[in-house]
Chain A
Amino acid sequence: MSLLRVENLSKEFGGIHAIEGLTFSVDAGDIHSIIGPNGAGKTTLFNLITGVYTPSSGRVLFQDRLVSGMKPYELAALGMSRTFQNLQIFFNMKAIENVMVGHHLHLDRRFLPSLLRLPSVTRRDRECRTYCAGLMEFVGLGKYLDAEAASMPYGALKRLEIARALAAQPKLLLLDEPAAGLNATESREIDEVIKKVASTGVTVVLVEHDMKMVMGISDQILALDYGRKLAEGTPAEVRANPDVVAAYLGAQG
């Protein structure tokens, strides 16, 4: 069953088609990767799916429900969560508080109980803190439990975004270049984290340039070029597709 369906989706920026007539679907439980050269429209596609941008035309369906035009926080409530290529960490907060914000939707968000610090709020906050510490351990950030986000290295912040996204307990997790800027060892570690996440039943959509990672962990791959679908299929099929080879290495003769 498809969890996410994108139908004939287009986005124009002043006459430039960043995404043009794109149709694809993501099955529940899969790791679905999106690849393509720089400027192919991968991040734009993420922004369209997660409500950061509004499509010029076309539709996005999440769990068979029309969601294009909804706000990011509404989509988060439906079970969609994401990370960013350029970090969107809350640098003014502690690392664990970043993750706790991720759990926002599962807490009592009413103003008065918070203002009066009702016992129910502090109790849920304590549970939330323990749960989020567990998530930080899960992504390999155990030693940063007490750290300020601003004092953490880049690689750790990449994982912190994943932990924050997981704290929302999403059905669909979109990861925008989780390995960008990481060295080979760190990339392999992120690789493991993504596999672990997928094994818990979360559907993952992954944008990544690290081909070793993409080919190794994906169930399905969508290749984009100039905002259009270039190829689609299993890693083996996409790898063998002449159009993909041409887009990446340049066409021959």
Chain B
Amino acid sequence: MTFNTARTGGLAILAIVIAVAPLGFSNSYFYDVGVNAMFNAILCVGLNLLIGYAGQISLGHAGFFALGAYGSAILTTRYGMPALGALVLSAAGVGLLAFVVGRPILRLKGHYLAMATLGIGIIIHIVLKTEAGITGGPDGLSVDNFKMLGFTVKGDAMWYWVSGLILVFAVWLALNIIDSPVGRALRAVHGSEVGAEVVGVDTASSKVLVFVVSAVFASVVGSLFAHKNGFITPDIGGFFHSVELVTMVVLGGMASTFGALIGAVILTLLPQVLAAVEQYEAMILGAIMMGTMIFMPKGLLPSLIAAVKRRGEA
């Protein structure tokens, strides 16, 4: 029961925060940052299913994000496909790719899995950069506005409300999965693979499933990002972006959907605040990652909740 209150309550708070935040927005730049924060949040909510709940690592999710972005860009501009159709088709393609590569690599554990997913991300990045005939190479591609049913999503404010809706929906989906037979099986894989196997959980398929789901989340966000930004380059699929995504999940809180969301928002806002020291961004990101692992390995939100609980008992 408590879980259900936390769930509906959490969703309500999220919706209210999204609705109220623009009251403090003085110009469209705020909306722009807000949209980016929410895009990252959606992606991290999906990635957290893989990392936080199922206990598997991926250092290649920026690759899936970029594939979604390029899929949408190419299908809409070159083949005149409707934006929604391109988004769905790209997501299906990325899901299929994740399924095909996931089967063999998810048998690896720990560092080995990290290396394999890292490799996938790098391969995708290289392909996007060198297949200039299709992707435009390092020069990038321009993308049209997102049009659907005669309706065009454009401007930062409109994108803000659209991505807010999608974020709430994504969080709802993630919470559904976690508190279901499928989600319990995923968490059991994290807890003890052999323990899960002997009560009937097909652990190999469970891992592939969550890998595919998180890749599809990334791809959908990639598609939206391409339309919102209007221009994409291969660097969105780079290694640094993958590390950034993992850091968001780790900082906010592994195995906490709202934690991952908060991590994504904090790390999206941080560069805006630290614009003066931009050249140190990678260093600061690394320091945050290390600091989190050492001082609050469970992440920001779970550590806060634990602290509040302790205070309540004392």
Contact = CB atoms under 8 A, between A and B. Distances in A.
Nearest to A128: B181
Given A71-B197, A76-B199, A105-B199, A114 B192 contact: no
Given A73-B200, A102-B199, A84 B180 contact: no
Contact of B195 (A88, A100, A109): A88
B130 interface: no
B129 interface: no
Nearest to A71: B197
B197 A76 contact: yes
Interface in B253-270: 255
B199 A164 contact: yes
A73 B202 contact: yes
Interface in A72-121: 72-73, 75-77, 81-82, 84, 88-93, 97-98, 100-102, 104-105, 107-111, 113-117, 121
A72 B198 contact: yes
A50 interface: yes
A22 B107 CA distance: 32
Given A89-B192, A91-B191, A114-B177, A101 B184 contact: yes
A223 B188 CA distance: 34
A61 to B, nearest CB: 19
A41 B185 CA distance: 30
B198 A104 contact: no
A227 B121 CA distance: 48
Nearest to A105: B200
A186 interface: no
A217 interface: no
Contacts of B154: none
A111 B180 CA distance: 9
Given A89-B192, A114-B177, A73 B197 contact: yes
B209 A168 contact: no
Contacts of A102: 199
Contacts of B209: 111
Contacts of B241: none
Q: Classify chain A: how many residues form its interface, as a range.
A: 35 or more
Contacts of A97: 184, 187
Interface residues of B, number: 28
Contacts of A107: 181
B237 interface: no
Contact of A73 (B55, B203, B255): B203
Nearest to B189: A90
Interface in B7-47: none
B234 interface: no
B307 interface: no
A84 B185 contact: no
Contacts of A72: 194, 197-198
A198 interface: no
B89 interface: no
A18 interface: no
Nearest to B205: A73
15 contacts: A52-B197, A52-B198, A72-B197, A72-B198, A73-B198, A76-B198, A88-B192, A88-B195, A89-B191, A90-B191, A93-B184, A114-B183, A115-B176, A115-B182, A168-B200
Interface of B: 55, 173, 176-177, 179-185, 187-188, 190-192, 194-203, 209, 255
